[in-house]
Amino acid sequence: MSYSLAGVSCMVTGAGGFLGSRIVQLLLQEEEELTEVRLMDTTFSPELLKKYEKFQGKTDVKFLKGDIRDAAFLQKACQGLSLVIHAASIIDHQGYLDEELVKGINVKGTQLLLEACIQNNVKYFIYTSSVEVMGPNYHGDPIINGNEDTAYESNHCFPYGQSKKAAEQHVLRANGEALRNGGSLMTCALRPMYIFGEGCRFILLHVDDAILNKNVFLRLSRKEAIVNPVYVGNIAWAHIQAAKAMRNPETAKQIEGNFYFISDDTPPISYSDFYHSLAEELGFGIESKLAMPLLLQYFLAFLLQILSTLLKPFVKYVPPFTRHLLNIYHTPFTFSYKKAQQDFGYQPLYSWEEAKQLTSNWIASVRAPQGREYLKNGKQC
């Protein structure tokens, strides 16, 4: 159904990050005939640099250190490319970062990158969006097995969701823009569910809290508030499948200018139960009831937000939880990947059992260097 990426010069933004590095890994493993892969980010860990040494010789790998908000840098970075996978993003669910910074990187950075692609005749552009473009909304309205045609009031009230929605709109509107060489830009956006897997810092935050709670996960979400997270290897694979399909004239017309929800076969489950499922075989338990009654959580979030607003002229106070975060935890919100399967042949590369085992092994390696007994003793590395 799709073409190969043989002969393509590709750049991945955010290539030093959780998802971006996985996209690059699959590109180099699955598409050995790429002419070039450029890795763009502000920093690269020594471990990541060492990992890509073994691929030298098969595909030309270049590291580009720069800021997505630097227009001159982007102009140089995009020269000679045919494909850009834009995975760079700044994520903030609680308000730790200034709104200007979040929107500057997520929105302005995306606009500048699109302009650089148009100026340099980059044909294909794939944007990593987010399920938060859809919601959950301020009212906490649920969606079960939603799709790209699901009607929903996405009344965003938090900078991160607003920024991803605005950036996605810029990307999709840019589809069909004339390139300098007379061609046209082809764009699409992928909206992943919550992404998990090896290297996910959010998982470690919950694991660390559980370790401090005698290896028992706090129940932060209602059991009924089911979601369907996606494994990092599967969302990375979706980018590559979309890129191949965009090069195929038969499928390109279906994809260009469209967005797609990307999930996999992870069973729908609440966030708290999900984290527990990843660490259960390591000896972790989970509390049976919410740490705090639901109405009380929302009332305290309201009071803390008022406090944060009152203190704003004097000091920055970030509440430990907000109404936005509570809506994420407590709203049933699941989506199907059928349209991506139909339009560009997306099929998860990893089964749920494989993804679960790989993630569990990683948790053990970074939080339990002495094995299961290390965790059972309530120690933290």
pLDDT recorded at residue 6: 87
Mean pLDDT of the 279-290 span:
95
In the predicted model, is pLDDT for residue 374 greater than 70? no
Mean pLDDT of the 76-95 span:
93
Chain CA centroid to CA 108, Å: 18
Residues linked to residue 124 through DSSP beta bridges, in sequence order: 83, 186
pLDDT recorded at residue 291: 85
pLDDT recorded at residue 55: 66
Total-model pTM: 0.93
Mean pLDDT of the 325-350 span:
97
Residues 319, 314: Cα–Cα separation, whole Å: 15
In the predicted model, is pLDDT for residue 375 greater than 50? no
- The question of whether 160 is a catalytic residue gets the answer yes
pLDDT recorded at residue 52: 75
Mean pLDDT of the 9-33 span:
90
Q: In this structure, which amino acid lies at residue 86? A: H
Residues 177, 168: Cα–Cα separation, whole Å: 15
Instruction: Single out the catalytic residue among 160, 194, 231, 271.
Output: 160
In the predicted model, is pLDDT for residue 31 greater than 70? no
Apex 131 CA angle, 127 and 134, nearest 5:
110
The percent of residues above 70 in pLDDT, for the chain, comes to: 93
In the predicted model, is pLDDT for residue 29 greater than 90? no
Q: Give 368's pLDDT tier (boundaries 50, 70, 90).
A: low
pLDDT recorded at residue 245: 96
Q: Go through the domains of the chain in sequence order and give each one's CATH number.
A: 9-200+228-267+334-350 (3.40.50.720)
> Where are any strands of DSSP class E within the chain?
9-13, 36-41, 60-65, 83-86, 124-128, 143-146, 186-192, 195-196, 216-217, 230-231, 258-262, 285-286, 333-335
Are 196 and 278 in contact by the 8 Å Cβ rule? The answer is yes
Q: Give 117's pLDDT tier (boundaries 50, 70, 90).
A: very high
The residue with greater pLDDT, 176 or 6, is: 176
Residues 183, 281: Cα–Cα separation, whole Å: 54
pLDDT recorded at residue 373: 44
In the predicted model, is pLDDT for residue 39 greater than 70? yes
In the predicted model, is pLDDT for residue 376 greater than 70? no
pLDDT recorded at residue 94: 79
In tens, the pLDDT along 294-303 reads 999 999 999 9
pLDDT recorded at residue 339: 98
Q: Give 370's pLDDT tier (boundaries 50, 70, 90).
A: very low
pLDDT recorded at residue 57: 64
In tens, the pLDDT along 120-162 reads 999 999 999 999 999 999 899 999 999 999 999 987 778 899 9
Q: Work out the mean pLDDT of the chain and round it to a whole number.
A: 91
In tens, the pLDDT along 47-74 reads 887 777 766 667 888 999 999 999 999 9
